[in-house]
Amino acid sequence: MAQNEAILKVTDLSVSYGQIKALKGVSIEVFPKEIVVLIGANGAGKTTLLSTILGLNNPVSGTVEFEGRRIDTVPADKNVRAGLCLVPEGRGVFASMTVIDNLLLGAHHNIHDKDKKLARVYEWFPILKKRKDQVAKTLSGGERQMLSIARALMSKPKLIMVDEPSIGLAPIVVNDIFNIITMLNKEGYTILLSEQNAYKALKCAHRGYVLETGNVSLSGSANHLMSDPGVKSAYLGV
């Protein structure tokens, strides 16, 4: 795949839950080594978009392509093997399992180099090494978010999707999480994240899309979005 081809291409995607039209013809692209952010209020469709990309929902219409191949009818577990991963809203760590067991779960479909992957994850998240034998429920919110991201990294992803990483975290911890996202991007990871915390997300992203009730209402470079008057008043509180 050439560097200038999208790693992820979503075209005209529509998803419904019964009568509720959660996505109404959404198109987005993510290029290798980008951080792209989906900005949207509650109910805009961020989680639906990310989970549909992963293969957890059947679209009514539209396509999802990953590395040039259609994946919109491929089940999520197969997409994870192909290099997609989703760090879910609310972290999704197994509270009564230890940190190390949560991490190893992330590598379950490819355990042969698990020790190497574990060592690398501990380098990036020293706090998780320190806490490796603690059960996850004893971690702070920020540590749980780190564990959730670290577990995703154990699957050797080509695209990491993170659904609202900053939700419920204190501002200083939010900074830590965005620093980690920036660091992972510098390490070469491609990242698609959703956020209501638009200011910090746009500060760390290259490009973004604004989702409003299932539609992309605006897209562009992070700088462009940050200076847009509509984005400023609706999402940046300016």
Ligand X SMILES: Nc1ncnc2c1ncn2[C@@H]1O[C@H](COP(=O)(O)OP(=O)(O)OP(=O)(O)O)[C@@H](O)[C@H]1O
Tell me, residue by residue from 176 to 215, as one string, x for binding to ligand X by CB under 6 A and - for no binding. --------------------x-------------------
Nearest distance in Å: CB 25, ligand X: 14
H helices of 35-107, where?
A: 46-54, 76-81, 99-106
From the list ligand X, Mg ion, none, pick the one residue 44 interacts with, judged by a Cβ distance below 5 to 8 Å according to partner type.
ligand X
Residue from 22, 80, 180, 226 binding ligand X (CB under 6 A):
22
Residue from 17, 96, 171, 172 binding ligand X (CB under 6 A):
17
Q: Which residues lie near Mg ion (CB under 5 A)? A: 46-47, 89
Rounded CA-CA distance 117/105 in Å is 12
Task: Identify which of residues 47 and 197 has a Cβ nearer to Mg ion in the complex.
Answer: 47
DSSP state letter for 222: H
Annotate 138-172 with b (16+ C-beta within 10 A) or e (fewer): ebeebbbbbbbbbbbbbbebbbbbbbbbbbebeee
Nearest distance in Å: CB 88, ligand X: 11
Residue from 20, 111, 183, 238 binding ligand X (CB under 6 A):
20
From the list ligand X, Mg ion, none, pick the one residue 36 interacts with, judged by a Cβ distance below 5 to 8 Å according to partner type.
none
Cβ–Cβ < 8 Å for 147, 103: yes
Nearest distance in Å: CB 86, ligand X: 12
Q: Measured in Å, how far apart are the chain's first and last C-alpha atoms?
A: 41
Task: Identify which of residues 40 and 62 has a Cβ nearer to ligand X in the complex.
Answer: 40
Angle CA 24–30–31, to nearest 5: 155
Contacts of 117 (CB under 8 A, 6+ apart): 107, 153, 154, 156
Tell me, residue by residue from 96 to 135, as one string, x for binding to ligand X by CB under 6 A and - for no binding. ----------------------------------------
**C-alpha of 16 from chain center:** 21
Angle CA 205–150–235, to nearest 5: 30
Q: Is 180 exposed, middle or buried (0-12, 13-18, 19+ CB in 10 A)?
A: buried
Task: Identify which of residues 56 and 104 has a Cβ nearer to Mg ion in the complex.
Answer: 56
Nearest distance in Å: CB 205, Mg ion: 17
Chain residues binding ligand X by CB under 6 A are 17, 20, 22, 40, 42-48, 89, 196
